[in-house]
Every structure is written in structure tokens, then in C-alpha cells.
Amino acid sequence: MEQVVKVHVMHTGDLKYDQSLAFKELNVIPPVNQRGEAYQQLVPVSSYLIEHPQGRVIVDAGWHEDIRTNPKEHFGEELYQFIEYRSPVGSSVREQLESKGLTPADVDMVVMTHLDEDHISGLQLLIGAKRFLVSELEWKHVASYKAKWYQGISFEPFELEPIPYGPYKLGKDLFGDGLVFLVYTPGHTAGHVSVLARVEGGWLLLVSDVGYAEKSWKELVLPGNTFDEKLALESLQWVQKFAERPDCVGAFANHDPAVLPGIY
């Protein structure tokens, strides 16, 4: 029988922001609620559990439980003005693992698609997991000024290797068996990766923040924040092409409200 993995989509809470943060339309993104309700979006903040025959992988950490009681301190003043956050009890990555009978010690690898705050906020809830991985490029660009988020965690930055997929055919075959690829899809950030998982029926592409919803790659709309617009467009174009493959069963943006929690 063909080996496959299972992907659990978990929503760790949600996030409200001006729509220009998701879909580039302005040069400067306004703080949340400044432009009125019609311009605001409420979206999920996702984390994923991948069950591979050789181990469990968490992709992105979502929100920390601290934001329920202490958001200003958790995020800092500057970020606080751009977004509103919510993480109902039971929704953090730690709590959702617990509801599946798992603890961080049962997690073999934590993989970060990139190091934006809505992806690293909950990292410390995963202390006890065996390994923490991030691309070396992302690490080099971001690590030094976000150190407070990684206290107690020792990241292994990985070098990009040739793989059969992606806009540059670079990334990492996570288990060396072609079932889970980290795919180098830069542009939103310097070392952003997407995750390609071989599930029942074909490939599931966890796009992360290459785009914020299906319309991002259908209409080639860049994210509001980009490290490099040319790379961001090339990554979006690759997602557009990959999503059209008959063996692609889904392309999921991290913050797309149309992607529901569940097991895929």
C-alpha cells in the first residue's frame, strides 16, 4: 500500500486586521479598525499536525495562551496596534495536542514556515518537542531581533537542498522518503517555506503566507507585507500552477477562513 501522511488543520484562534495586510493595495498598512468595518478581516491563525509513519510534525505554532490575559506585553506596543487577537480556551496548539492525547514530548519536529509573530507566538508552548527547524535564510534575517520569542528553544536552521518541487526546486525532504517536503517559497519573508504533504489521494500544499486565500494565487495578489515582491510573485505563480495539478487535493493558506479545521 502506498504510504501517506495525515494532516490535522488546527485553528489556534483568530486575527483581525486591515484587508491591505492580506491583499496588497496600499503602500502603508493602516492599524486595525482605522478604515472602518468594511475594510477589516477576521481570519484564523492555523497550526498543523502531520502524522508521518516515522514521527509527528507540528507546522507553525499559532497563538500563545498568554494573549488571552496579557496581549500587550506578549506582542509589544508596535505590533499591538495593527491587529486584534483572540484565542479561545482549548484552541492553543498545546491544548489541541492535549485533546488528541499528546504532549510536546510526543512531537518529533516543529517546523516554522517563517518567523512572523502570528506563527511563532505559541512556540514556547511546544518546549519539550525533540527538534525545532527553520530555514537558514529565515533564521539569518530574523533571529537576532526576535530572540525573546525563542527563549528555551534551540533551533536547527537547515540549508536548502535540491528537491523536485517549488519555484526554485529548493527545500528539504523532511523524512528523506518523499512524503513531506518543505518547499522554499520566499517573498513574503526571506526564507519562507511551504509544506507539501503526500496525503490520501494526492498532494496537500500548506501554502502558509505565500498568499492569504485562494484568490491570492488565482488573481496573483501579493501579501500586504513582502520582503521581496519579485520573489513573492514567483512563489505565488508556482502555487497557482501547483494548485491546478490533478494530483493536488488542496492548497491551504494559513489565514484562509474557508479552510476548516479537520483531518486531511
Helix extents (H) in the chain: 71-75, 77-80, 93-99, 117-120, 136-142, 214-218, 229-243
- Stretch of residues binding Zn ion (CB under 5 A), selected from 98-106, 118-126, 154-162, 183-191: 118-126
d(CA 149, CA 122): 9
Residue of 14, 60, 209, 256 interacting with Zn ion (CB under 5 A): 209
60 is a contact residue toward Zn ion (CB under 5 A) = no
- Stretch of residues binding Zn ion (CB under 5 A), selected from 134-142, 173-181, 197-205, 206-214: 206-214
Displacement of CA 260 from its chain's centroid (Å): 15
Instruction: Please count the residues of this chain forming the interface with Zn ion, following the rule CB under 5 A.
Output: 2
- Stretch of residues binding Zn ion (CB under 5 A), selected from 138-146, 162-170, 189-197, 207-215: 207-215
User: Smallest gap, in angstroms, from Cβ of residue 188 to Zn ion?
Assistant: 8
- Stretch of residues binding Zn ion (CB under 5 A), selected from 116-124, 161-169, 191-199, 244-252: 116-124
Residue of 18, 118, 214, 256 interacting with Zn ion (CB under 5 A): 118
Helix extents (H) in 100-248: 117-120, 136-142, 214-218, 229-243
- What are residue 85's DSSP bridge partners? 15
d(CA 113, CA 212): 14
53 exposure class (CB count in 10 Å sphere: 0-12, 13-18, 19+): exposed
Residues that bind Zn ion (CB under 5 A): 118, 209
